[in-house]
Structure 1
Amino acid sequence: MEAIGETEKKFQPSDQEKQKYRMRAAAFLATVSGMAAFVGFSRTIATARKQDQQLYEQATVETVNLIESGTRLATRALAWGTFYAVLGTGTFFYGIWKLSGAKNMDEFRHKMGSVLPKISKDTQTSRTEFEGLNDLMKYLSTHKKTE
């Protein structure tokens, strides 16, 4: 039995390896979300440009007397909306982090694990697949809830 414990210790990643993994995971998530935001923003602008080329070109010319076009207004609204969404979400989760009093991610995970309800690992004893809505309704009407 001692050999098994020693073998398990050999396969446990060190703190440095854990930190390196977390940094790679954070970089990956930041890259993917940044690319998604860039592609989404670019696609929205391209769609607006295709729909009304003349107004789009007028909106890009800086003149004092020109009334703001719908495309330019939509572009500004999308930019501000994105800014507020990222800022609000970041502030919300930073606040949760600070209110928890955690110093690192492991400590935060343990604190949230103690606060949030546990997910049971029991096997499902009731049906989960139905042929259609009628089958589901028939099951719900005849199934007796066991507590």
Structure 2
Amino acid sequence: MAEKDESGRAEGKLSRFKGGMFLAAVAGTGLLAGFSTTLGMTKKKSPDMFDKGLAGGPGIESGVSVGLRALKWGTFYAVVGVGSLAFLSFKILGVSNLQEFRTEMQQKLPRIPKARTKNRVENLDSLFGIQNETTTER
């Protein structure tokens, strides 16, 4: 019994690791594609200024240093902002872990009803009012 439990935990950890690696790969690919596209559009739009910014000069800060500085400060502000928001939320609610946070939020926030509305569209046929042999037989 203990062996099954341990193998289940190992499988769960491996599954979470694979999922995390997949998400990291997707995010990295998106980041690289977005950055490359933006860089290519900038070079195509004004190649002279792009070359000047790439090399830098006496009065011009290089584009790479400006981009890295912006990335550094943006990362700093994002981490500090999200971290302080999470810290304040945990302190205000008086919880110490995510499970307690979940139960507190379920108690404090109103329940979302799962009732179906009249305006819900089930498929494209019902959206456009299309009647065919399969929809009339139902």
TM range (shorter): 0.5 to 0.7
Distance 1:14 1:108 in 2: 26
Aligned length: 117
Structure 1 vs Structure 2: percent identity of aligned residues? 20
> Residues 51 and 60 from structure 1, CA distance in 2 versus in 1: closer, same or farther, beyond 3 angstroms?
same
Aligned to 1:5: none
Aligned to 2:24: 30
> Residues 43 and 91 from structure 1, CA distance in 2 versus in 1: closer, same or farther, beyond 3 angstroms?
farther
> Residues 43 and 88 from structure 1, CA distance in 2 versus in 1: closer, same or farther, beyond 3 angstroms?
farther
Q: Does 1:63 align with 2:53?
A: no
Distance 1:49 1:60 in 2: 10
Q: Residues 1-48 of structure 1: CA distance to partner in whole angstroms, max 9, x if unpaired?
A: xxxxxxxxxxxx945444443333333323322322222122111111
Structure 2 spans left out of the alignment, 5+ residues: 1-6, 128-138
Which structure has the higher relative contact order (CA within 8 Å, separation 6+)? Answer: 1
Deviates more, 1:40-49 or 1:83-92: 83-92
Structure 1 spans left out of the alignment, 5+ residues: 1-12, 132-147
Cα RMSD (Å) of the superposition? 4.0
Q: 1:79 aligns with which of 45, 57, 71?
A: 71
TM-score, normalization: structure 1? 0.52
